[in-house]
Amino acid sequence: MGEGRQGVGRPTRLKRGARAVDAATDTKVAVRGTTKGRARSATAVARTAGSNLYAQAAARFPADRSSASIWCGDGPSYSWHDIEHATARLANLLVSLGLEQGERIAVQVEKSPEALLLYLACLRAGFVFLPLNTAYQSAEIEYFVSDAQPALVVCDPARLSWIAPIAKRHDVRAVLTLDERRGGTLLRRAAAFGDTFETVHSRADDVAAILYTSGTTGRSKGALLTHGNMVSNAMTLHAAWRWRPGDVLLHALPIFHVHGLFVACHGALFAGAPMIWLARFDPKRVIAELPRATVFMGVPTMYVRLLDETGLSAEACASMRLFISGSAPLSTDTFRQFEARTGQRILERYGMSETIMLTSNPYDGNRQPGTVGLPLPGVEVRVVDEQGRPRAWGEIGDIQVRGPNVFTGYWRMPEKTREEFTADGFFRTGDVGRFDANGYLTIVGRSKDLIITGGYNVYPKEIESYLDELEGVLESAVIGVAHRDFGEAVTAVVVPRGGARLDEASLIAALKDRIAAFKVPKRVHLVDELPRNTMGKVQKNLLRERFAKA
């Protein structure tokens, strides 16, 4: 399969503040599609497309469709017209592959505007988008493909040699490629299609995306998020965070998770706000771009790294109206240091793959450090005891949630879905917290055995099973220990099989070959035995204490 460069969106080179040249006049990129017929107005499309997430967003694109929607530094930039035309070409291509509505499209590609356009095209055509972390290696990809049974896989050309055989083994009908510089077969093939497409009609309960969340018991679960879930949460956040004309989002998050793809991109798209698009988080680059932006979203590790830069100052943030943090706990220390340096009080919010956003500190009221704020309008959040009885404020309990944003269930796991919902329809988050007298929620821990490192979730069980398969390993326990940069660092404690000579570096190297780098333990400690309670359960709290300073 040859890998060429091609343009599907015909992006324009755009100076900041300048209007985009209408894509139709850009003849630099050969586009063989037809443009017969005028596109109907976005509002008309939104009406006929029901709850389709793309249609709902497009109805809010700015009236001047030739203005910029995505700025990519020195690379090509996109107008709102470009988004409409490029997603139409891609949607036409997807339909031409014979995909049926509701079929899955698994995507593991580097961050690029075209990757976002592919997501939007899936929505337009009524397919289910399945984003995959670019760090995932073959064992992880094999599982997702076997479980989700996608009809199409889109991957980086550099990974085609090992992904294509996986796809073949699991009867995937087509594999296309996309790299971060517009190379690959996806765009080349899409360029042959027309740039108009009638966005399909979607019902609120039609599935728009599957997000895999790692499993506490081994198997990863695919959370099914509907068009209705996403539209309702996007509209709620639009109001809660006061998106407004003139906003510019500085986008530096990965786009294979809720935070970067749904919260950030939907926020900008529903506000008709342009995005400054950074392929990866680089603190110096973020600080350099701040004067042109008004909104930034990041995980706590990003704020810690911004604070390490001397360039972070009140002047650098003068145009900014909102810094948002989430995906992991933001320390009070980081909140205070950030305020002292910039005058900005970071707004912390809380959510998860299964529910999108649940709570937020207020835009106008007091942003209380150490808390994740108040339940968002329309979202019910309760803290309950082991019998499911509501706890009084100040008392710690399990956090359960209900609302139009909460997912419908796990892909082909009816049992698991039933277990995770209460009889009255609340979802058990697995997080533990308490409300204060003013209704602010604080997350104090998790009932699920989960490590959050730099905003990514790692389930110890999964890493233990990989470790236990290694030659010379008798058993292992994986814990999170406090880490200045990542918040928590994945740490393994390993018992060698009798006589086996193991060393830390080779165990780490062996895991790196198999699983995503962010899941690989930063340290491996070798011990003679694991501490156990009378029931035989490993006492991870003792291990956490013992290795806290390691």
**Closest residue to ligand MLC: CB criterion:** 454
| Residue linked to tokens 């830390």 | 504
Query: Sign of the CA dihedral 54, 60, 65, 70?
Result: negative
**CB under 8 Å to 370, separation ≥6 — which residues?**
332, 335, 442
- Segment contacting ligand AMP by CB under 6 A, of 56-64, 264-272, 326-334, 403-411: 326-334
Tell me: does residue 327 bind ligand MLC (CB under 6 A).
Answer: yes
Three-class SS state of 119: helix
Q: Among 11, 150, 183, 326, indicate the residue that binds ligand AMP (CB under 6 A).
A: 326
- Residue 87, contacted partner among ligand AMP, ligand MLC, none, CB below 5-8 A by kind: none
Q: Among 26, 103, 348, 462, indicate the residue that binds ligand AMP (CB under 6 A).
A: 348
Tell me the C-alpha to C-alpha distance, in Å, between residue 193 and each of 58, 96, 125. 21, 9, 14
Nearest distance in Å: CB 27, ligand MLC: 37
- Residue 476, contacted partner among ligand MLC, ligand AMP, none, CB below 5-8 A by kind: none
Three-class SS state of 374: strand
Nearest distance in Å: CB 161, ligand MLC: 21
Cβ closest to ligand MLC, residue 82 vs residue 420? 420
Nearest distance in Å: CB 135, ligand MLC: 6
Helix axes 160-169, 138-148, angle to 10 degrees: 30
Contact set for ligand AMP, span 417-456 (CB under 6 A):
429, 431, 443, 446, 452
Lay out the sheet containing 218-226: strands in order across.
174-177, 152-155, 104-108, 128-131, 207-215, 218-226, 409-410
Contact set for ligand MLC, span 277-306 (CB under 6 A):
281, 299, 301-302
Q: 388: phi > 0 → left, psi -120 to 50 → alpha, else beta; which?
A: left
Total number of residues shown for the chain: 550
- Segment contacting ligand AMP by CB under 6 A, of 27-35, 132-140, 336-344, 350-358: 350-358
- Residue 213, contacted partner among ligand AMP, ligand MLC, none, CB below 5-8 A by kind: ligand AMP
Q: Among 222, 267, 274, 455, indicate the residue that binds ligand MLC (CB under 6 A).
A: 455
**What is the 3-class SS of 392-422, one letter each residue?**
CCCCCEEEEEECCCCCCEECCCHHHHHHHEC
> Following CA atoms 276, 277, 280, 283 in sequence, which dihedral angle do they give, to the nearest 10 degrees?
0
Q: In the numeric block, which tokens belong to residue 78?
A: 């996109």
Nearest distance in Å: CB 184, ligand AMP: 28
Tell me: does residue 258 bind ligand AMP (CB under 6 A).
Answer: yes
Nearest Cα neighbor of 463 from 393, 501, 514 is 514
Cβ closest to ligand MLC, residue 81 vs residue 266? 266
**CB under 8 Å to 84, separation ≥6 — which residues?**
39, 58, 61, 65, 195
Tell me: does residue 260 bind ligand MLC (CB under 6 A).
Answer: yes
- Residue 454, contacted partner among ligand MLC, ligand AMP, none, CB below 5-8 A by kind: ligand MLC
Tell me: does residue 517 bind ligand MLC (CB under 6 A).
Answer: yes
Contact set for ligand AMP, span 99-158 (CB under 6 A):
none
Nearest Cα neighbor of 227 from 210, 264, 257, 202 is 202
| Residue linked to tokens 């040859």 | 2
Q: Among 12, 213, 226, 360, indicate the residue that binds ligand AMP (CB under 6 A).
A: 213
Q: How many CA atoms lie within 13 A of 159 on its CB side?
A: 24
- Residue 301, contacted partner among ligand AMP, ligand MLC, none, CB below 5-8 A by kind: ligand MLC
Q: Among 372, 383, 467, 481, indicate the residue that binds ligand AMP (CB under 6 A).
A: 372
Say how many C-beta atoms besides its own lie within 10 A of residue 546's C-beta.
15
Nearest distance in Å: CB 538, ligand AMP: 22
- Residue 270, contacted partner among ligand AMP, ligand MLC, none, CB below 5-8 A by kind: none
Three-class SS state of 467: helix
Nearest distance in Å: CB 343, ligand AMP: 22
Task: Supply φ then ψ for residue 533, to 5 degrees.
Answer: -85, -175
**DSSP code, position 373:** B
- Residue 281, contacted partner among ligand MLC, ligand AMP, none, CB below 5-8 A by kind: ligand MLC
Q: Among 143, 363, 518, 547, indicate the residue that binds ligand MLC (CB under 6 A).
A: 518
Q: In the numeric block, which tokens belong to residue 56?
A: 């709902």
Q: Are 114 and 8 in contact (CB under 8 A)?
A: yes
Residues that bind ligand MLC (CB under 6 A): 253-254, 257-260, 281, 299, 301-302, 326-327, 351-352, 453-456, 486, 517-518
Which parts of this chain interact with ligand AMP (CB under 6 A)?
Answer: 213, 258, 326-329, 348, 350-353, 372, 429, 431, 443, 446, 452, 457
